[in-house]
Amino acid sequence: MKTNVIFLFLFFTLLLSTASYAQKTISEGTITYEISLQSRAKENKPDNGFAGATSTRYLKGGLSRIDMKTSMGTETTIYNSKTGNAAILKEYSGQKLMILLTKENWDERNKKFEGIVFENTSESKVIGGYHCKRAIAQLKDGSSIAVYYTPELVAINKDYDKAFSNLPGFPLEYELETAALFFSYKLTSIDFNTVPSSKFEYPQTGYRMMTYEENKKGKAGQ
């Protein structure tokens, strides 16, 4: 009887260690997606402004940076999950703008993702060598997100992208659909090498500074 108990203990210990080994925690890395955009108003024809567009995510502990590059310009979001503060850097038509966000601003900006719940479908596929499941979530504003995610990877900083903070894995391909637009993100590369700390520093010169509230007022007045 004692031998059986020891055997069962060793068996379940092996199962747990195998499960832990199968899932890799991303504490640092660089993930790049190719972006495409279609407008429903143009009969689902691709938006040429997004030809060759990319979105690159840099992760380092509680720090994250997302660079979105299109033919029209570049937009960067730098976020510190420990302080809750963030900065959005915009470079369009030679103009450079830095918008500073407090924790309250960040939460307001991502309010539409509050309570987001993904439901798995029966679909699956392999992306970049990782086995992925397909899941769909409906947002409060009527838009939806369909994602292929892998349970084999999980980010240590779950708040790097609020859309996926409740996802039980890492998104490798996803689609964001609104009443007017259809965004598609497809993985092109994933790298777990060290990311320089300088990637998460705010520029000290060259940008016109603006608060989140000032930017909102400016948009409302347009």
pLDDT tens string 144-198: 999 999 999 999 998 999 999 999 999 999 999 887 888 999 999 999 999 999 9
> Across the strands, what pairs with 156?
none
Kindly state whether residue 164 falls inside one of the protein's structural domains.
Answer: yes
Per-residue pLDDT of 192-221, as tens digits, reads 999 999 999 999 999 999 999 998 887 655
What's the pLDDT score for residue 85? 96
What integer pLDDT is reported at residue 52 of this predicted model?
85
pLDDT tens-digit readout, 14-28: 444 444 446 899 999
The parent domain of residue 55 ranges over 24-220
In a domain, 146, yes or no: yes
Closest by CA to 165, choosing from 187, 147, 177, 184, is: 147
- Tokens 């995510």, residue located: 57
Position 159 in a domain: yes
Which tops the pLDDT comparison, 45 or 134? 134
Q: What is the pLDDT of residue 48?
A: 57
pTM: 0.84
The two three-digit tokens of residue 150, written as one number: 């892998």
What's 186's domain CATH number? 2.50.20.10
The SS3 call for residue 151 is coil
Structure token digits, residue 32: 């790049």
The verdict on residue 69 lying in a domain is: yes
Which pLDDT score is estimated for 179? Answer: 77
Cα–Cα distances (Å) from 148 to 165, 168, 199, in that order, read: 15, 11, 27
In a domain, 75, yes or no: yes
161, part of any domain: yes
Task: For residues 78 and 86, give the distance between their C-alpha atoms in angstroms, rounded to a whole number.
Answer: 5
Q: Looking at the predicted structure, is the pLDDT value of residue 8 above 50?
A: no
Instruction: Give the pLDDT confidence of 81-101 residue by residue, as tens digits.
Output: 999 999 999 999 889 999 999
Cα distance between residue 21 and residue 150, in whole Å: 14
Which residue's entry shows tokens 């992306």?
Answer: 127
Asked if residue 208 is part of any domain, the answer here is: yes
Total domains, the chain:
1
